[in-house]
Amino acid sequence: MPIFHSTDLISPGTVVGSFGSAKALANCSKSNAEASCDLAEIRLDLLIQQGIRPTRTDWAHLGGIPLLFTARREDEGGANQLNAASRMELLRLALPDVALIDIEVASISEMKDLLDELRKEAVPWVASYHDFTQLPPTEALKDALEKAAAAGAAVFKAAARVTCPADLARLADFQSENHGIAVATMGMGPLAPSSRLLCAQSGSVLNYGYLGDAPTAPGQWPAQLLKQAISASGSGH
Ligand SMILES: O=C1C[C@@](O)(C(=O)O)C[C@@H](O)[C@@H]1O
């Protein structure tokens, strides 16, 4: 089963480098990934969209870099109309190599079988929540967080569109509270870059940038720059 589970990496300042394309994944050397992030995210839904049927050889050259696997559902930014069964099949394929797995809060009930397997194998997982249109009311974030915690997630992660300074402050306030579960937050859209630094400084345990040339969310920093900025701001590892 999994070679390395990265609960150690679930700590403030961790930088996740996300591959936005199959080409970026194929062309990224292990040393380049190491210089840019602490954990690399492989978006299996994006590989499928680009005509690749993922196999473990697609990421074998990164051996040793902790890997986070995601098969995103379409209504939360996924690239294809992959149903829950297909997403679980993709994630199961990656299980021997996972450090962490991402499953949306909205998918908890339909992906229960996989969650049971993760629990048995003690594989930590991130319960994610995305809103590409707005920063939802704080109550909605809390509600999603409670579902994540009740389902046994190691991290609750929220990514939402931020458009004004008040959004940044509210997201950072949410991040700063002690919720009894590790939390990762990040903005998307026009103020995403500022929000990502502020959320990191407020204790976000997973801070996403992109590896290669294609962001996987609007407003992401290149991972290496984000790592440098977080480190320069004193909130890195
Ligand atoms: O959920 C997340 C976070 C993200 O949406 C971001 O905003 O950086 C990028 C996605 O690839 C990842 O799965």
pLDDT in tens, 45-80: 999 999 999 999 999 999 889 999 999 999 999 998
Alpha carbon distance 124, 133 (integer Å): 29
Is residue 18 over pLDDT 90?
yes
Does residue 73 sit within a domain?
A: yes
- Note whether 26 and 170 are within 8 A (CB): no
Domain extent at residue 96 = 7-232
Query: What spacing in Å lies between the alpha carbon of 188 and ligand 1's midpoint?
Result: 9
ipTM: 0.98
Ligand 1 nearest atom to the CA of residue 20, by list position = 11
Does residue 237 sit within a domain?
A: no
Does residue 45 sit within a domain?
A: yes
Q: From atom 11 of ligand 1, which residue's Cα is the shortest distance away? A: 216
Backbone angles phi, psi at 42, to 5 degrees: -110, 115
Does residue 102 sit within a domain?
A: yes
Nearby residues of 179 by Cβ (< 8 Å), 6 or more positions away: 142, 145, 149, 156
- Note whether 114 and 92 are within 8 A (CB): yes
Query: What spacing in Å lies between the alpha carbon of 75 and ligand 1's midpoint?
Result: 13
How many helices (H) and strands (E) would you count in the chain?
9, 9
- Note whether 28 and 212 are within 8 A (CB): yes
Query: Whole-model pTM?
Result: 0.96
Does residue 114 sit within a domain?
A: yes
More confident residue, 237 or 27: 27
- Pocket, ligand 1, Cβ cutoff 6 A: 18, 41, 43, 70, 102, 128, 130, 159, 186, 188, 208, 216-217, 220
Does residue 24 sit within a domain?
A: yes
Q: From atom 10 of ligand 1, which residue's Cα is the shortest distance away? A: 216
Number of domains in the chain: 1
Query: What spacing in Å lies between the alpha carbon of 49 and ligand 1's midpoint?
Result: 16
Q: From atom 4 of ligand 1, which residue's Cα is the shortest distance away? A: 217
Query: What spacing in Å lies between the alpha carbon of 217 and ligand 1's midpoint?
Result: 6
Does residue 77 sit within a domain?
A: yes
Query: What spacing in Å lies between the alpha carbon of 208 and ligand 1's midpoint?
Result: 6
Does residue 166 sit within a domain?
A: yes
Convert the pLDDT of each residue in 75-134 to its tens digit: 999 998 899 999 999 999 999 999 999 999 999 999 999 999 999 999 999 999 999 999
Helix axes 112-121, 84-94, angle to 10 degrees: 20
Convert the pLDDT of each residue in 186-214 to its tens digit: 999 999 999 999 999 999 999 999 999 99
Residue 5 binned pLDDT confidence (cut-offs 50, 70, 90): low
Q: In CATH, what number is assigned to the domain containing residue 215?
A: 3.20.20.70
